[in-house]
Amino acid sequence: MIYLDSAATTMQKPPAVPRAAAYAMTHMASPGRGGHQPAMRAAETTFACRRAAAELFGVSDPERVVFTLNATHGLNIAIRSLVRAGDRVVISGWEHNAVTRPLHGLGAEVVVAGGPLFDRAAQLAAFERALEDGAKAAICTHVSNVFGFVLPVEEIAGLCRRRGVPFILDASQSAGCLPVRQEQLNAAFIAMPGHKGLYGPQGTGLLLCGEGQPEPLLEGGTGSLSALQTMPDFLPDRLEAGTHNMPGIAGLLEGLRYVRSRGTEAILRRERRLIRQAARGLAALPDLQVYEAENPVDQAGVLSFRVKGMDCEEVGEQLGRHGIAVRAGLHCAPTAHQSAGTLETGTVRLSVSDFNTPAEIERLIYVLSRLGRE
Q: What does the pLDDT read at residue 134?
A: 87
Inter-residue contact 190 to 182 (CB < 8 Å): yes
Give the residue range(s) of CATH 3.40.640.10 domains in the chain.
16-262
> Cα–Cα distance between 14 and 199 in angstroms, integer?
7
> Cα–Cα distance between 265 and 165 in angstroms, integer?
30
Q: Which of 177, 184, 359, 197 is nearest to 264 (CA)?
A: 177
> Cα–Cα distance between 19 and 255 in angstroms, integer?
11
Cα 144 from chain centroid? 9
Q: Which of 270, 296, 298 is nearest to 360 (CA)?
A: 270
Count Cβ atoms within 10 A of the Cβ of residue 233 and give its class: 0-12 exposed, 13-18 middle, 19 or more buried. Answer: exposed
Q: Which of 289, 291, 315 is nearest to 303 (CA)?
A: 291
**E-strand spans in the chain?**
2-3, 65-68, 88-92, 109-113, 137-141, 167-170, 189-193, 205-209, 288-291, 302-307, 324-325, 327-329, 347-351
The answer regarding whether domain 16-262 maps to CATH 2.60.40.1840 reads: no
For strand 302-307 and strand 324-325, is the pairing parallel, antiparallel, or unpaired? unpaired
pTM reported for the whole predicted model: 0.97
Question: Which residues are CB-contacts of 237 (< 8 A; sequence separation ≥ 6)?
Answer: 222, 223, 224, 225, 231
> Cα–Cα distance between 204 and 68 in angstroms, integer?
6
Inter-residue contact 135 to 104 (CB < 8 Å): no
> Cα–Cα distance between 18 and 162 in angstroms, integer?
44
3-state secondary structure of 35: coil
Q: Which of 61, 77, 80, 59 is nearest to 69 (CA)?
A: 77
CATH class, 2-10+263-373 region: alpha beta
Question: Which residues are CB-contacts of 12 (< 8 A; sequence separation ≥ 6)?
Answer: 3, 353, 355, 356
* Cα separation values, 227 from 30, 234, 242, Å: 19, 15, 16
Q: What does the pLDDT read at residue 133?
A: 85
Q: How many CB atoms lie within 10 A of CB 219?
A: 12
Q: What does the pLDDT read at residue 371?
A: 84
* Cα separation values, 221 from 5, 54, 225, Å: 36, 25, 9
Question: Which residues are CB-contacts of 49 (< 8 A; sequence separation ≥ 6)?
Answer: 67, 249, 250, 252, 253, 256
What is the distance between the terminal CA atoms of the chain, rounded to a whole angstrom? 22
Instruction: List the chain residues with pLDDT less than 70.
Output: 372, 374
Give the residue range(s) of CATH 3.90.1150.10 domains in the chain.
2-10+263-373
> Cα–Cα distance between 225 and 229 in angstroms, integer?
9
Question: At CA 283, angle to CA 278 and CA 288, rounded to 5?
Answer: 110
| R_g of the chain, CA atoms, integer Å | 21
